Amino acid sequence: MGTLGYYLLLPDMGWVDALYMTAITLSTVGYGEVAPMSPSAKIFTILLIMISLTAFAYGIKELTHFVITENIFDKIKRKKMNKMRASLKDHTVICGYGRNGRQVAQRLLNHGQPFVVIEQDLVLMQDQENIHFITGDAREDKVLEQAQIDRAKHLITALPDDVDNLFVVLSAREMNPDLLIVSRLTSAGNRSKLKRAGSDHIIMPDRIGGDYMAGLLMVPDLIRFVEELSWLEGDSPNLEEIAIEELPKKIQNKSLAELDIRKKTQCNVVG
């Protein structure tokens, strides 16, 4: 519009000069007119400047509104998370980020193992940038599919209700028959149901806590030794499991004395 206006209002101005005038006017550079300006051309220039400033201000307003209302940064974050989830394989899916779920996630995080957490409560997800969350109900198949359950290696369902854990186990076992499933149990009477549903391991946190407290009284030295082997803290000694068949062939079928592991690695074989 600016180029056409200058071309029509100033007879001596060519198309290039008209385009040049429009560019320096809209950019407010103000190099100077390339031809004498008639009154009508000056009025046109004023209108052109006002229109361009209004359009620019409107554009800034709309961009700001889009960033604030559409939460573009959250969209970028979700897109990044979806890309990460699509590449997941042989990972662990944790259902529930309560006390038990947080403990599991922290240990896997310290151990460098890939995992995702399914949780509905947005409050529990705050300030957890290192953990990949999927917002939703773990009992729903579509949420398990978002967690790539068909390509997962482990499932830990740590929901507070046994019925909810049962639903998750049934769905997950159907979607991935090779999945290793660890389930939380609240009521001892539901153990057989979870087992039939497909849980490989069933854990009662309250029972473990009670056994631990009793152990502190009965075998305190043993309990302290086990605590030293805990790998929850980064600087604690690590207890690792290594399959015999995964060892290099040159050290297979040899005794511990022949391997001399402690002298070479400062590690102990405890089992």
Tell me: do 138 and 40 sit in the same domain.
no
Domain assignment present for 140 = yes
- The conformation of residue 248, written as its DSSP 8-state character, comes to -
Tell me: do 170 and 104 sit in the same domain.
yes
In the block, residue with structure tokens 């399914």? 118
Domain assignment present for 251 = yes
Tell me: do 149 and 227 sit in the same domain.
no
The predicted pLDDT at position 234 comes to: 53
Tell me: do 192 and 110 sit in the same domain.
yes
Per run of 10 residues, the mean pLDDT along the chain (length 271 residues) is: 83 82 77 76 81 87 76 70 77 92 89 90 82 90 92 94 94 94 92 92 88 88 76 60 85 88 87 83
Cα(175)–Cα(187) distance, integer angstroms? 26
The predicted pLDDT at position 71 comes to: 65
Domain of residue 62, residue span: 2-69
Tell me: do 146 and 187 sit in the same domain.
yes
Tell me: do 179 and 91 sit in the same domain.
yes
Domain assignment present for 76 = no
Cα(187)–Cα(160) distance, integer angstroms? 11
What DSSP string runs through 189-243? GGHHHHHHHT-SEEE-HHHHHHHHHHHHHH-HHHHHHHHHT--SSTTSPP-----
The predicted pLDDT at position 152 comes to: 93
**The model's pTM:** 0.61
**Number of domains the chain contains:** 3
* In contact, 201 and 181? CB cutoff 8 Å: yes
Residue-level length of the chain: 271
